[in-house]
Structure formats: structure tokens, C-alpha cells
Structure 1
Amino acid sequence: MKRSFFLLAAAFSLLPVAADAHPHIFIDAQFAVVAAPDGTIAELKNVWQFDEVFSSSVLLDFDKNGDLNLDASELKAVGKTVRESLGKYNYYTNVTLNGKPVPMGKPDVMHADYKDGALTLTFSLKPVEKTPLKGLLIFGIYDPSLYTAVDFAEDTDMATTGAAFGACKRKVVRPNPDQIIAQNQATLTTLFFNDPMGTNFSQLVATRLEVQC
């Protein structure tokens, strides 16, 4: 098995190597929460662009014809692999309504693109059940294992769209990791950071979108 394929498998299957608390894969992300006409969540649209090092490793493993590019069939294979592998981890997507988790279904398809040395994945998630825009909704996208860093460069990268959001207030929260560590020193032990099952530290420091309707 090629080393690059091992990295892909480790990232998308969260093998024990992912217990390291330092990110090894970096994603520049965007998402938009789309409101349905009836005032519920229609879908959560995602665009993930991976760093060049990881993108190169994917190219090495999926470029079956060796032309240093990913054609349509190869990109389809990438999308299928990620869709199957990340499903059990909810695609790093965490949504709550008034403190209760909102389960999201699998995307119908995950579109992959490779351009200028970067792999980009585009996909949509829909709530398993109707979820009204009523109360406090919190949207966070993060990897509990801390193996993958998901970054939203601008507040506008966490968007809401649809007339139903007109009655809502929204804000992007960017926690300060140093403050989080200082506030939780008693529980942030070495074991905490190296738990292969993941910890809630990533949840504490993850950028999130809060919508009050």
C-alpha cells in the first residue's frame, strides 16, 4: 500500500495514527445553511478545499492512468471513497437546536474536483427530520480527533440563505484556544489530548455559527 493511500485511509477512517493532537490535514471550508420556504432547514451546503500536500497524496493514489491529473472517473472514485469513509463521523458536521443534536443524512453524492494542485469536495447534507428555524441553532464543522483542521477564513464563509432567516439573528463565534486551555486546565491532561476516540477540545475551540430565531 502506498504511503499516500495510507494517509488518506488514516484521515478518512480515523485510525489510531489520528490520535496525535496536531492537525496534519488542512481544509479551507465554506458552508451555507439553506432555509426552506416552510421555515425549516432545507440543506447545509459545503465546499472543502484541501491543502496541497494532502491533495498531492490523493493524486498519487487515484491517478490510475498516470497523467498527473484526475479525470472524471478518478474524481468520482475520490468522492465515493470520502462519502463512504466519513459517513460514520457525520462529515465532521455538528448541528444542535436548543442544545439537542440534529442528525444529518448522508449526501446523495460528493463531488470532487482537482485544480491548481488542490482537491476540492462539494456536497450537501440534509436533516434526517424536519428541523424548524426556531430557537438557538448552532452549526460547527470540526474533526474531534484534531487530525484535520477545518478553517473558515472569513465570517462570510459561514452563511445563511433563504427568506426564513430574515427573522433570525446570526453571529460567528471564534473561541480563543489560549483562553479555553486556561479555563479548562484541570481537565486538559495528556490523556485527554491523546484519546484515540477524540475529545471535546476540538468542539470547544471550533469556529461556529450561532443563529437565534
Structure 2
Amino acid sequence: MIRTAAFLLALPTLGFAHPHIFVDTDMILRVDEEGALYEVELAFAYDEFFSLLIIEDMGVDPDGDGILTEAEKAKLFGFDVANWPDGFEGDFYVGVNGENVSMQRSMAIGLDVVDGKLVATQTRPIPFVDASLAVIRQYDPTFYVHYTLQNVSVEGPCESNVDAHDPSAGDRAVEEALKTVSDDVIDTLELGIYYADTIRLTCSAGS
């Protein structure tokens, strides 16, 4: 989702198993009349510090007043979906029967600045999976980015059920995982899932 900023890849690791970028997410799940989940819309509000880094890196807002012109917004538009590296899943996962569904890349549809935070909106097609079987999570496997799910809504004949993660349980799981590997491979661990909320959909009969 945000790995596309070249400077982000160059940022030093300030500590392992601790996030350094914080993102609030609003999510809209779209389900058709047959009960197939076919699209997600995600609005990401990045923390003020990271927003400032992006703005400075892209060379916009030279006067530093935090107010972007339409031309400056246009320059930033799509920064979060451009040039995804190979294997990057966009920090968004839909599982069915224990397997993650392969999805196309996201498409940028909006960019704004709200209270000092960059808010980037994107849509992503989902290959028409049975909504009632879908297990949906948003997380960065490396836990460099921490997502907070603010709102989930559904357009279609289903309702969302959010099972919020337990931070204490996540901490314990991470501690146990860290005990199993040596220091030279510690950065290969995928720890973000332990801090991910889980979303399931309940669909009306006949959908």
C-alpha cells in the first residue's frame, strides 16, 4: 500500500516488532445480489509524521502551510499504488478455506489532506468469492505499518462482523515467535497478522 515510496525503503529500522507508520482505515466491502464479494474500497489516513515525509519527498507544499493546491494533490495522487514490488499484497487479504485469494492491484480514486493527514482512497477488485466464506484482514506482515480499522461498511446483502485483535495476545504470540528464530533471520518473520482484526460477512438468505 505504501511501499511504493522509494525513500520508505531506505528508512532505517528503528527497532524490530514495533510499527513506525500508523494508518487509520475506512473500509467498504461490495457484495453483489448473488452474495459474491467483488470489490473493496479503502481510505487510508496516514499519521501526520509520515504524511509530512511523503509531502516533502514528493516536493509539494513548499510553503509548509499544510494546504495543498489541486495541482499538488494531483502530483501526490496514486503514490500509494504505484510500482508495487513483486509479491506485495497491498496489506489486504481475503482468505477462503484457509487460502488467500489472488487479487489484482488497487486503483487510486482519491487523495486529500485532512487535519494534517494524507488520506488516500483506492479500490481493489476481488474475484467474486462467496462473501459468507471470506475471511478478511488488513495488516503489514512485517508490522512496520500498524493499521487501525476505524469503520467497515458493506454495500450489498450482507453485514460485517469484526473480531478485534487482542493486543496482549498479539504481544505474547510475537514473543513466542521471536524465541524460535536466530537473529540473522529475525527480519523474515511475519508478525503483523497477530495484530490484525478479522472481518467476516453474514449474508441474508437467498443472496
User: How high is the TM-score relative to the length of structure 2?
Assistant: 0.78
Alignment length (residue pairs): 196
Per the TM alignment, residue 184 of structure 1 is displaced from its structure 2 partner at its CA by: 7.0
Letter of the aligned partner of 1:207 in structure 2?
D
Question: CA deviation digits over 1:124-162, x for unaligned, max 9?
Answer: 1112x332324x211111111111110024xxx122220
Q: Which has the higher mean CA deviation after the structures are superposed, 97-106 or 42-51?
A: 97-106
Runs of 4+ in 1 over 6 A off after TM superposition: none
**1:1-213 → structure 2 map (5 Å cutoff):** 8-11=5-8, 13=9, 17=13, 20-64=16-60, 66-68=62-64, 69-86=67-84, 88=86, 89-127=88-126, 129-134=127-132, 136-153=133-150, 157-163=151-157, 165=158, 170-182=160-172, 186-189=176-179, 191=181, 195-199=186-190, 201-212=191-202
More helix by share: 1
Distance 1:21 1:192 in 2: 15
Higher-strand-fraction structure: 2
Question: Are residues 192 and 83 of structure 1, via their aligned partners in 2, closer, same or farther at CA, if it must alter by over 3 Å?
Answer: farther
Go from structure 1 to structure 2 and tell me whether the alpha carbon gap of 1:77 and 1:187 turns closer, same or farther (over 3 Å shift): same
Q: What are the ranges of 5 or more consecutive residues in structure 1 without an aligned counterpart?
A: 1-7
CA-atom RMSD in angstroms:
3.0
Matched position secondary structure for 1:104:
coil
Aligned-partner residue type, residue 80 of structure 2: V
The amino acid that maps onto 2:146 is A
3-state DSSP of counterpart to 2:81: helix
